[in-house]
């Protein structure tokens, strides 16, 4: 857990059309972007949590984004149903954790959960563990469960 207010602008909203030195265009982020600044700040504050050796194999990752309370919360923790979108928050965080060598590649994440809420003491949290439960039996249970809903 890192005592840091989660970023409100996200990877998606910070993309710009940029040019290489030879004039070719590409989509990217400038070094002055709020997302890049926040990612560096998070990495700096969370550096002591970086594993000695990157996680290997399939991973389960949970990301927690605790935003500051607003007046309508009346001092109580609350679910956050406004922007930023959970998937855009996840993208920025997963990119940062990849650069911090939490794992070799973010394709190792096979199960993920993102929680965003407002709270008295804002923070950002990450929980990573090996994912060992996906096998043929588990996949069959999922298919069965989904077919029951038809």
3-state secondary structure 34-103: HHHHHHHHHHHHHHHHCCCCCECCCEEEEEEEEEECCHHHCCCCEECCCCCCHHHHHHHHHHHHHHCCCE
Does 66 map to a domain? Answer: yes
Query: Looking at residue 132, what is its pLDDT?
Result: 84
Does 30 map to a domain? Answer: yes
Does 11 map to a domain? Answer: no
CB 93 within 8 A of CB 147: no
Does 3 map to a domain? Answer: no
**101-121 tens-digit pLDDT:** 999 999 999 999 999 999 999
Q: Which domain holds residue 30?
A: 16-148
Q: Which helix (H) or strand (E) holds 130?
A: strand 123-130
**What is the domain count for the chain?**
1
Task: Look up the CATH number of the domain holding residue 55.
Answer: 3.30.1330.70
79: CB partners within 8 A, 6+ apart:
117, 118
Does 9 map to a domain? Answer: no
How far apart are alpha carbons 49 and 60 in whole angstroms?
Answer: 17
Residue 21 binned pLDDT confidence (cut-offs 50, 70, 90):
confident
Residue 31 binned pLDDT confidence (cut-offs 50, 70, 90):
low
Q: What is the pTM of this model?
A: 0.81
């Amino acid at each position: 857990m890192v005592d840091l207010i989660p970023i409100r602008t996200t990877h998606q909203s910070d993309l710009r059309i940029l040019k290489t030195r030879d004039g070719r265009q590409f989509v990217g982020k400038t070094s002055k972007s709020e997302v890049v600044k926040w990612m560096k700040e998070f990495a700096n504050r969370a550096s002591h949590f970086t594993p000695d050796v990157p996680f290997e194999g399939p991973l389960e990752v949970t990301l927690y984004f605790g935003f500051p309370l607003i007046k309508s919360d009346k001092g109580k923790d609350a679910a956050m149903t406004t922007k930023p979108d959970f998937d855009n928050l996840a993208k920025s965080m997963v990119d940062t954790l990849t650069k911090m060598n939490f794992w070799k590649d973010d394709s190792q994440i096979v199960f993920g959960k993102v929680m965003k809420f407002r709270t008295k003491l804002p923070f950002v949290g990450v929980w990573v563990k090996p994912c060992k439960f996906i096998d043929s039996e588990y996949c069959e249970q999922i298919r069965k469960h989904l077919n029951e809903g038809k």
